[in-house]
Chain A
């Protein structure tokens, strides 16, 4: 396998980033007390990997992420398609959606704490709220973008409402839905970790808070790097999923051929 120069430069860039992370504290630009050298973070990471706590926290985070994302996607797609195919409903709800969407999810934190204390429920509440809008809005765009000729053709052939949704609306909207899913997956992960950090629900976010207040600085940085890795992983996974789900679609097929 030959590496393209683009990839080589990328690896070099990432290497430089890690090198800076090692050198900045070593030279003393920032005190190692506050920013330990990268090698210390790696050591702390390996120590973490050996503890059961770390894996339980990771599992908790993934559970909150997965459940929340699942609920949000089902709700978003069902409601999005339901509203999207009926023009009157679409017009009627547009303003409400525009009003509710910019409400920052963190506004719900105090409410979540009162209702669910520090349980999974409060994490789910934030995750579902934030990722629901991503899916809903993309689904609405998708349904709106269905070729009118195709829909009218389907109607001329007397496809029922259900078949129309299944064979005309859904495939046309799928690229948008997949975009929504990918965005929602990243947002859900961020919100899950945020909720853990602030509310104190069990998970990686909570571990970061614990490490910071306990003075285990290298561990804290190690966990921050883990969350970054998790974020990249989720992004890559859902890009793959998107390509797989849309492998029949023009845009992907053209890309593969080129």
Chain B
């Protein structure tokens, strides 16, 4: 790539966000509207609100809950998914029930889980698990089901069994699908983390943001919205990065297949 082309690409990536931000900045600058405070004021408040202690007391607990719930969902989802996906009759047995459970909107489970697990951290972690589990589980099932038959039989010929077979054949083959599930699960996870905190909590991002809204601290509320947006973005980038590391072999394989075809 020549320098000019790289410059063009960078300009393309940066241009529109820069224009939009500039528009927001200048159009809101003189704003006296109660609902839309100037962006400059929001950014100034951002520092005061989030980096003076709130980060440790509200953002970190939220992230820990999300992480805990997501990890449990990942382990359960991949474990059960491999089991259900490898045995045909188990899959037929479980599928309708799983499809039904997945169709229940996860936030609806918040009141249910409040009953079962109280309003503490356990409930919030469970809410995240209850939402993240299905995309990971169902995608793993699909991935395991679609393992290449030639590979399966090759493994059988070489008597590759047990743990090696599981890691090298089954999970490896299903990993592109699993990563799709992980990506979906994470975006659901953030939403559920926030919702569970909006419902019943004494700290956390969702709690703080709804508190700002209830006390009509609009500027502070906007900083919360910005922070949530940034968080969603960072986590999405993180997943992209992990995906790129884990699935490098897959992208290479696909590219070479396309190239030869």
Contact = CB atoms under 8 A, between A and B. Distances in A.
Query: Number of contact residues on A: which range applies?
Result: 35 or more
Contact of A91 (B12, B100, B114, B195): B12
B99 A105 contact: no
A104 B196 CA distance: 14
Nearest to A30: B116
A96 B16 contact: yes
B154 interface: no
Interface residues of B, number: 56
B15 interface: yes
B3 interface: no
Contacts of B104: 224-225, 227-228, 231
A62 interface: no
B contacts with A: majority SS: helix
B107 A197 contact: yes
A180 interface: no
A contacts with B: majority SS: helix
Interface of B: 9, 12-17, 20, 35, 89, 92-97, 99-112, 114-116, 187, 190-191, 194-195, 198-199, 206, 209-210, 212-213, 218, 221, 224-225, 228-229, 231-233, 235-236
Given A205-B107, A228-B100, A231-B104, 13 more contacts: A10-B95, A95-B13, A102-B229, A102-B232, A104-B228, A109-B198, A109-B210, A110-B209, A190-B107, A198-B107, A224-B104, A227-B108, A228-B101
6 contacts: A13-B92, A92-B12, A105-B191, A217-B115, A231-B105, A232-B99
Interface of A: 5-6, 9-14, 16-17, 30, 34-35, 91-96, 99, 101-111, 113-115, 186, 189-190, 193-194, 197-198, 205, 208-209, 212, 217, 220-221, 224-225, 227-232, 235
